[in-house]
Structure 1
Amino acid sequence: MLLCTAKIFPLSFTDTGDGPELAAALVEAMSDEEALAQTFMLGWVGAEPSPLILDWIRDRHIGGVKIFGWNTGDTLRLAETVGSLQQVSLAGKLKVPLLVATDQEGGWIRHVKGATSETPGNMAIGASGYPRDAYLSGYYIGRELALLGINMNFAPTVDIYTNLASTVIGPRSFGNDPVRAGLLGTAFMKGQQAAGVIATAKHYPGHGDTDLDSHGVLPRITVPFEVLWDRELIPYRMLAKEKIPAIMSGHLAFPNTQAASTPASLSSWFLRDILRDRIGFQGLIITDDLMMNGATTWAGSLSQAAKQALLSGNDIIMLSKTPNLSDPVWTNLLASMRQEPAFRDRVRDAARRIIVTKLEHLRGETAVPYVPDLRKAEAGLPDPDGIRFFLDLAARSVTILKGEDQDQAIFPLSREKAGRVLLAGQYLDFFSTGKSAYPGATGYWYTPSEEAIEELQGYARRSDTIIFCLADTEGLNVLKNLRWLGKRVIVFSVLSPVYLDQVPWIDGAVAVYSYAPESFVAGFSSMLGRIPAQGRLPLQ
């Protein structure tokens, strides 16, 4: 009789088969330590990966890493680093790759700098109003990240610009129309996913109605839930229906809801009752950085915040720095798994969700390569097609906010009409582009000191037209010192245009929404009348 023996292959992430079934099998094969490690997403300090982050990947098999700005000075080195970290992770017994995440929102927030594109940003997309601009922004940003091996992006930002005093969100928002933010956020998400990158909407349930920063404190937003449901939560309701794969929870308190003083990121009511059960979101929930004071101060410690985050419904806890292997954030969670069956089940369920997401997005023809091709990265950054698109977007989004009425038309402001021009600002691209637009213009880099303001006034008195680059309250205070000089004052607004309401006496204003070079080119081109200013302020 012929006896046949079948070779038994070890279970691994590379196996074919149904995603949810394979995910369940992989998590079943994990120890408690390995399941808990999947819920960790850690950052590290410096361009090179630290020995400690390598220990967490090699020995603990953590689920993800987060790329911050301090890791990204050299773009090709970053790509090499990502590839080396993935190789360490793939050497594990189950061959599970890392989620490699960053914050590349576009515009103001661009953690991966170096050779990547500077872009006009979300508020420019809101000013253009075209979902296709949102789609292509997500697509080209995603395509650049994919060349670097980054497979997850903490974008789109769908916070509503409700509180115009907010300097935390500002031009990171698409505007203050919830439905438009949902439409543009959905288009951005689909563009990213076409490039193979996992999209993550933030900061649930909405960071736009506070001028406080959750990095330093826990903001308290006093609106009732009914207002949240019909305003801040609309983009999340839309994105959940479109099956966005991940949402980031924010460290924000809403005392007039059932969550009371508990941060939304640590609230089972916000995460389970509302996001999971009422909205129907089935993807990953990821905390904002748990090392932010908005989380740890309320919880009492980092380890207590981490446990509460998982218990309340987060699947991934994100830490901006690498803790020691024996840090309580690990040892206390592992002890809780061994002592509390319900907590153990919650962690293993989170690990299952993470593996399901990885199986869906980190495999297949459109998946981001685990090990980047450095030659492709060098040739493809910045994306050549993206360069052209972002210049077009900058041009479409330029907005004339004052000086376009026929009875007080300032624009187009020709060189002859402008006369002697003074450029006052704080961005090198503002001066270089402005001097190309108005040859012979004088440039002055202003500061808020009394001596500098007096010197600026002296230059202004010798000019016919002052073009003032305004981006913040510091600049606003300097600008106010030019009111009574009897000169033509034009404001070149950068980032958020909300400061213009405080200077109604100016003669004209042009708004762009980032300090990318393309935005300065577009703004001055519109000022000269070379291109039409088609943008509409996305603040009603």
Structure 2
Amino acid sequence: MQLRILSSFLLLVCLSVSRSLFAQSFTDPGDTDELAAALVAAMSDEEALAQTFMLGWVGAEPSPLIMDWIRDRHIGGVKIFGWNTGDTLRLAETVGTLQQTALAGKLKIPLLVATDQEGGWIRHVKGATSETPGNMAIGASGYPRDAYLSGYYIGRELALLGINMNFAPTVDIYTNRASTVIGPRSFGNDPVRAGLLGAAFMKGQQTAGVIATAKHYPGHGDTDLDSHGVLPRINADFDVLWDRELIPYRILARENIPAIMSGHLSFPNTQAGSAPASLSSWFLQDILRGRIGFRGLVITDDLMMNGATAWAGSLSQAAKQALLSGNDIVMLSKTPSLWDPVWTSLLASMRQEPAFRERVQDAARRIVAVKLEHLRGETAVPYVPNLAKVEAGLPDPEGSRFFLDLAARSVTILKGKEDVKNVFPLTTERAGKVFLAGQYLDFFSAGRAAYPGASAYWYTSEPGAIEEMLSYARRADTVIFCLSDAEGLGVLRSLRNLGKRVIVFSVLSPVYLDQVSWVDGALAVYSYAPESFVAGFSSMLGRIPAQGQLPLQALPGDGRPGS
């Protein structure tokens, strides 16, 4: 009897092991890690290497070349950029076509379909999707629930389109006020708050079925340079990074975020030396995996950015170094030819270098495991979008109401409410003749709705244009100037000595307000979404309270428009 029981037990174990070892496809049942290992064991070197590739393509329709990479090479993922997304329905059809092609492979492994839909300023999937107030507005509201619901509604829209991975949240700390690359993409300059809001955003996306990806590790907020064009050098030492830029990643790793994007950033005062963090095993393996304890996917920022390729010497060398350093996915914004050196050199290295082959297989196992965990089951993003649901669900009706509420909660009055002049609320009677100067159509629309009869002028920095703007301003009692960048700051200064009431309506980053302490009133919103302009003018009129707090409290001049 005992022998029969033992025999039955051993038979069950053998059958279980055999199902894992000889897995036929992605749809097989079984333990995630065991099935991922079995699927990778069934792959050729080419198929394992292809899982580490995430490629973009140019145009609304999928190019023949990207289809070749999916059908013949079985790449692991595609990245959707703004140039692919003008027509929302066409994008949904495209995603369905790409996934059907991938699922026709022998192992039936779906694609990771990724994009950058951070909210606010960065919104690669345009068309019918929601424009949102963005991360800095969430930082100004201060509510983790706003972060959660932002992630949820953004994720819900992406899921309708078949997009199952989002390169968000951005958890870069707004350390350098001169940063124009990060700016309002940041939650602010408090690292603990950024980590907590980032974790809430991640949870919201995951509830919608979308894989969250934090970026740009280890932190892009302490430089005014753009890694698309150069390799920024950030002089912070490791102790500073550990207690500042790395805090959000320490929080997110404990919350089991499934993916992190590595940034092309150099930290010469750390053990990484001059190497980009994206190509540094010290940053990716010793710190991120070893000390922080992150267990998910590591994905490079676009390897075609100069910040990576210039240091490595070539794209193929950058790709190899990226994998050796600990990245699991190499992301390329354009589609290389099938026999490009970025492919042939990596494949040759797999066949000639056992350690590199093992590293690629390890990456492939991790990629497949994440797919098994997130791309199967009732809550997973559909492989082929339902076009009727896309038409009915974009923009998300519930999301639209929420984003308007968030815009209202985040409006921040920085000057003119509780000082000597007490400008706000600026009713139509108090405002008198209003002149609107700006560069956004939605600013003019919302401004004229708030102050009927207001005159308006689309300003430029040209000398003749400035004089023309001043001629309108001289006829007004109140000038409301929309400020969003350094060029606008120069134009705004021309209004200083007119003797008129000047109100600044700041959008995107509020840091330029530091230099205009002479204005009578200043109000900040953090996006150029229509809802943000409506909310800002509603607060200006006193119809809704301005509850937002500037999310840059640790910097000089916070809570007032500087000096």
The answer, yes or no, to whether TM exceeds 0.5 is: yes
Matched AA of 1:130:
Y
Is 1:281 aligned with 2:287? no
Which residue of 2 is the match for residue 399 of structure 1? 412
1:259-291 per-position Cα deviation (integer Å, ceiling 9, x unaligned): 000000000000000000000000000000000
1:369-407 per-position Cα deviation (integer Å, ceiling 9, x unaligned): 000000001100000000000000000000000111142
Matches of 2:187 and 2:235, distance apart in 1: 23
Matched AA of 1:195:
A
Matches of 1:330 and 1:66, distance apart in 2: 18
2:118–2:170 CA contact under 8 A, matched in 1: yes
Is 1:314 aligned with 2:335? no
Out of 75, 78, 81, the residue aligned to residue 94 of structure 2 is 81
Matches of 1:285 and 1:206, distance apart in 2: 14
Please report the RMSD computed on the Cα atoms of aligned residues, expressed in angstroms. Answer: 1.1
Shift of 1:10: 6.4
Out of 230, 235, 244, the residue aligned to residue 231 of structure 1 is 244
Which residue of 1 is the match for residue 539 of structure 2? 526
2:538–2:544 CA contact under 8 A, matched in 1: yes
Which residue of 1 is the match for residue 493 of structure 2? 480
SS state of the match for residue 523, structure 2?
A: strand
Is 1:456 aligned with 2:456? no
Which residue of 2 is the match for residue 210 of structure 1? 223
Which residue of 2 is the match for residue 432 of structure 1? 445
2:77–2:112 CA contact under 8 A, matched in 1: yes
Which residue of 2 is the match for residue 3 of structure 1? none
Which residue of 2 is the match for residue 247 of structure 1? 260
Pairs within 5 Å for 1:13-28: 13-28=26-41
1:477-504 per-position Cα deviation (integer Å, ceiling 9, x unaligned): 1001110111100000000000001111
Pairs within 5 Å for 1:355-394: 355-394=368-407
Pairs within 5 Å for 1:318-329: 318-329=331-342
Matches of 1:483 and 1:455, distance apart in 2: 16
Out of 482, 486, 492, the residue aligned to residue 469 of structure 1 is 482
Out of 476, 499, 503, the residue aligned to residue 490 of structure 1 is 503
Out of 85, 88, 109, the residue aligned to residue 96 of structure 1 is 109
Which residue of 2 is the match for residue 537 of structure 1? 550
Pairs within 5 Å for 1:27-42: 27-42=40-55
1:191-228 per-position Cα deviation (integer Å, ceiling 9, x unaligned): 00000000000000000000000000000000110000
1:221-277 per-position Cα deviation (integer Å, ceiling 9, x unaligned): 001100000000000000000000000000000000000000000000000000000
> How many equivalent pairs are there?
535
SS state of the match for residue 41, structure 1?
A: strand
Which residue of 2 is the match for residue 413 of structure 1? 426
Matched AA of 2:122:
I
State the TM-score, normalized to the length of structure 1. Answer: 0.98
Matches of 2:238 and 2:126, distance apart in 1: 38
Matched AA of 1:498:
V
Matched AA of 1:363:
R
Matched AA of 2:349:
S
Matches of 1:492 and 1:234, distance apart in 2: 32
Out of 280, 285, 293, the residue aligned to residue 306 of structure 2 is 293
Structure 1, gaps ≥5 residues long: 1-5
Matches of 2:516 and 2:23, distance apart in 1: 69
2:23–2:39 CA contact under 8 A, matched in 1: no
2:119–2:154 CA contact under 8 A, matched in 1: yes
Is 1:188 aligned with 2:233? no
Which residue of 2 is the match for residue 152 of structure 1? 165
SS state of the match for residue 482, structure 1?
A: coil
State the TM-score, normalized to the length of structure 2. Answer: 0.94
Which residue of 1 is the match for residue 517 of structure 2? 504
Matched AA of 1:368:
V
Which residue of 1 is the match for residue 79 of structure 2? 66
Shift of 1:142: 0.1
SS state of the match for residue 248, structure 1?
A: strand
Structure 2, gaps ≥5 residues long: 1-14, 554-563
2:23–2:38 CA contact under 8 A, matched in 1: no
Shift of 1:448: 0.6
Shift of 1:443: 0.5
Matches of 1:163 and 1:345, distance apart in 2: 40
Matched AA of 1:84:
T
Shift of 1:408: 2.0
Which residue of 2 is the match for residue 133 of structure 1? 146
SS state of the match for residue 505, structure 2?
A: strand
Out of 48, 51, 62, the residue aligned to residue 49 of structure 1 is 62
Matches of 1:385 and 1:425, distance apart in 2: 30
Matches of 1:223 and 1:149, distance apart in 2: 40
Matches of 1:120 and 1:207, distance apart in 2: 21
2:132–2:529 CA contact under 8 A, matched in 1: yes
Out of 266, 282, 298, the residue aligned to residue 269 of structure 1 is 282
Which residue of 1 is the match for residue 9 of structure 2? none
Shift of 1:41: 0.1
Matched AA of 1:292:
M
SS state of the match for residue 550, structure 2?
A: coil
Matched AA of 1:277:
G
2:23–2:35 CA contact under 8 A, matched in 1: no
Q: Percent identity?
A: 85
1:104-149 per-position Cα deviation (integer Å, ceiling 9, x unaligned): 0000000000000000000000000000000000000000000000
| C-alpha distance 349-460 of structure 1, shift in aligned 2 (>3 A) | same
Matched AA of 2:85:
T
